[in-house]
């Protein structure tokens, strides 16, 4: 089955860290740019980070630069997001997404990250 499945979300204290994972299946993961997109409760969509096929090119939204790191393991068909120095503004559902002609044609179900004391 062609799918993306995120995991690793949860409740974390301000200043803490969390590592999200996204397991891909049913397609050739190493062929595609991949991304993380988040959505704060009741809010719109916000792109977080992108990574190219071999992991050599990474892009971030300014608000997470220096705190978040996107990576991938093509041998394991997995995408990751290491999140450090988390703040309340990072509370959101985090989706991994597969690029399709400069859009995202496949999305995971999302994993919730809550930053609170």
The C-alpha atoms of residue 101 and residue 52 are separated, in whole angstroms, by 13
CB 82 within 8 A of CB 12: no
Which residues are at the interface with other proteins (CB under 8 A)?
35, 37, 44-47, 50, 59-62, 95, 100-105, 107-110
Residue 48 Cβ vs other proteins, minimum distance, rounded to whole Å: 9
Which of 35/79 has CB closer to other proteins? Answer: 35
Residue 50 Cβ vs other proteins, minimum distance, rounded to whole Å: 7
Q: Tell me whether strands 34-39 and 92-100 are parallel, antiparallel or unpaired.
A: antiparallel
Residue 106 Cβ vs other proteins, minimum distance, rounded to whole Å: 8
Task: Extract the tokens encoding 21.
Answer: 């994972």
- Phi/psi for 8 (5° steps) reads 105, -5
Which of 86/108 has CB closer to other proteins? Answer: 108
């Amino acid at each position: 089955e062609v799918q993306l499945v995120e995991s690793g979300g949860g409740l974390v204290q301000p200043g803490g860290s969390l590592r999200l994972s996204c397991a891909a299946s049913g397609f050739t993961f190493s062929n595609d740019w991949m991304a993380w997109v988040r959505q704060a409760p009741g809010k719109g969509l916000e792109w977080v980070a992108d990574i190219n096929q071999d992991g050599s090119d990474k892009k971030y939204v300014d608000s997470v630069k220096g705190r978040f790191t996107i990576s991938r393991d093509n041998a394991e068909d997995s995408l990751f997001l290491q999140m450090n120095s988390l703040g309340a503004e990072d509370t959101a559902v985090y989706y991994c997404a597969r690029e399709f002609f400069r859009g995202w044609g496949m999305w995971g179900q999302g994993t919730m990250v809550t930053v609170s004391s």
